[in-house]
Structure formats: structure tokens, C-alpha cells
Amino acid sequence: MDKIIDGKKISLEIKDELKEEIKTFKTKPGLVVIQIGDDSASSVYVKSKQKSATEVGINFLHIKYESDVTEDEIIAKIKELNNDSSINGIIVQLPIPKGLNEKRIINSIAPIKDVDGLTYENIGKLISNTTSLISCTPLGVMELLSRYNVEISKKHVVIVGRSNLVGKPLINLFLNEDATVTICHSKTDDLKKYTETADILVVAVGKKGLITADMVNEGTVIIDVGINKIDNKLYGDVDFEEVYNKVSLITPVPGGVGPMTVAMLLKNTITSYKIMNTSK
């Protein structure tokens, strides 16, 4: 089992570290999650965030709106939270109901409190390699690689998937670590031609078993970000059993990248808290 990158274990270690750090603070950090509508998956995610935040000592506020809420009402609430010094992190739980302008709502969050790393300002800072709050899942991927001492500089990283949440931020995170980066997506011809050249392969598509053993090289490090729920069982984008013998390290699904996303949300909240409390 020494090939497994254990995200669950690492996330617990991070939570313990944050808990100890928070004990040294004069006040508790505050995190707000705004949920709009009744998406059942969103409700599960919010509860998970609440549980983790409370465990480490972060004050958690869950603000829930009906799906017929107006955009202006949400933005007015966000502006109020922006001005509240007891709040260090604000996230809007996605997806939000159709008819609401997601980009406008998210960009009304003060960048220093944008712990999901989704505002244009934070994205721009990431691209220009300036200190910023970074989207939680990509940040979790980098944290796992760091904690497992995976060398990134001069390595060939192949990312499959170009989503705004995962693929695109990872391009810049790997470039900032001096990797050579190839990005593949749904319009890429002959995916295998690229994946088999990867030192580090990150797959974030949402297609069960997309990556098979013949598509990867011996000794590759695989980060599987995909989550596919079939018959109440979770699968990744990589055929885990098939590729296991070829790789040097691999994240399982579940228990790999998933737990890191919430851990990084908490870490971003602490980062924001420290910045807000040293700039006074």
C-alpha cells in the first residue's frame, strides 16, 4: 500500500496543525458559506465544511436563501460580510440556480475573503505568480505532492481537463514550480500520446476509467481528481486496479484529493485571518 497518496490522512494532519495554530489566535477566525436553493449535494458539502471548521476552531456561519432570491439581495449581504472584521472567509456554494449571474456574485466577494480563490483578482494574481488565495482543490493537489516529496521542477506534468475550478489553476501552479505543462481536454486527439509521456499525470474530467494502464508510463505519479458516482459507489477517472502496478504513487477515489479540498478551505481561511490581522 506504499504507493497510495493518502489524502484522508494528510487532511487530518493539516486540520490538527490548524487547530493548534488557531489556539494561539486572540480571536476565532470566521467562515461564511452562502447557499442558494435546495441542491441536495450542496447541502452535504456545506455540512462537511461546517463539521471540519468547527473541529479546528473556526466560527462557521451558514446563510441559506431560497432559489427565488434576487441577485442584488445576495450581493448586498456579501458586501455586509466584506465589511465585517470577524469574517475572514466567504464562499458561495456552487452550483447556484439558473438566472443568477455567478461571476457577478462571486466577484462581489472581497478578494482577501475569497477563500475559494474564484474572483478575477485572485485568478489574475495566480497567473502572474503573485501571492493570492488559490482555489481549494488545485491547492490540495499541490499540497499532497509536497507532503509526499514529489519533485515538480523540470518534470513533465500532463493535466487532463481544463475546468476553471481545477485544470486551469493547476496549469499556473505547476508552471510556478518550474514544471513543463501539457494540458489535454475533450478536443484533444490521441490522448494516450500525451498521457504516456507524463512524469506527473493529473486527471480531472468526470469520466470513469478514462485512463487505462496502456496510457501511462512506468513510475508515473497519478493524481485522480475525478469523482463519478455509479450505483452509490465512487470511482475516479483512472482505472485504479489496472494502473496500480505501473505507477510510483497514486491517489485513490475516495480518500485522495477529496478530503484535501475542505482542508485547503480551512487553510485559506487561516491565511486570510493572518493577513487581515497583521495589516491592522
The band of 278, judged by pLDDT with boundaries at 50, 70 and 90, is confident
Model confidence pTM above 0.85:
yes
Is 116 tagged catalytic? Answer: yes
Domain ranges in the chain are 27-110, 136-258
Q: Which fold is adopted by the domain 136-258?
A: Rossmann fold (3.40.50)
Please pick, among 116, 199, 224, 237, the residue that the annotation labels catalytic. 116
State the alpha helices, DSSP H only, in the chain: 7-23, 40-56, 71-82, 102-106, 120-127, 136-147, 167-176, 191-195, 240-243, 258-278
Give catalytic status of residue 168 as yes or no.
Answer: no
What pLDDT is recorded for position 280? 46
At residue 20, does pLDDT exceed 70?
A: yes
Q: State yes or no: pLDDT of 143 exceeds 50.
A: yes
The chain-wide mean pLDDT, for the chain, equals 96
**Catalytic option among 6, 15, 93, 155:** 93
Catalytic one among 15, 49, 113, 168? 49
What is the reported pLDDT for 279? 55
For 27-110, CATH number out of 3.40.50.10800, 3.40.50.10860, 3.40.50.150, 1.10.287.3510 equals 3.40.50.10860
* Shared fold status for 27-110 and 136-258: yes
Alpha carbon 276 to its chain's center = 22
**pLDDT tens digit string along 185-230?**
999 999 999 999 999 999 999 999 999 999 999 999 999 999 998 9
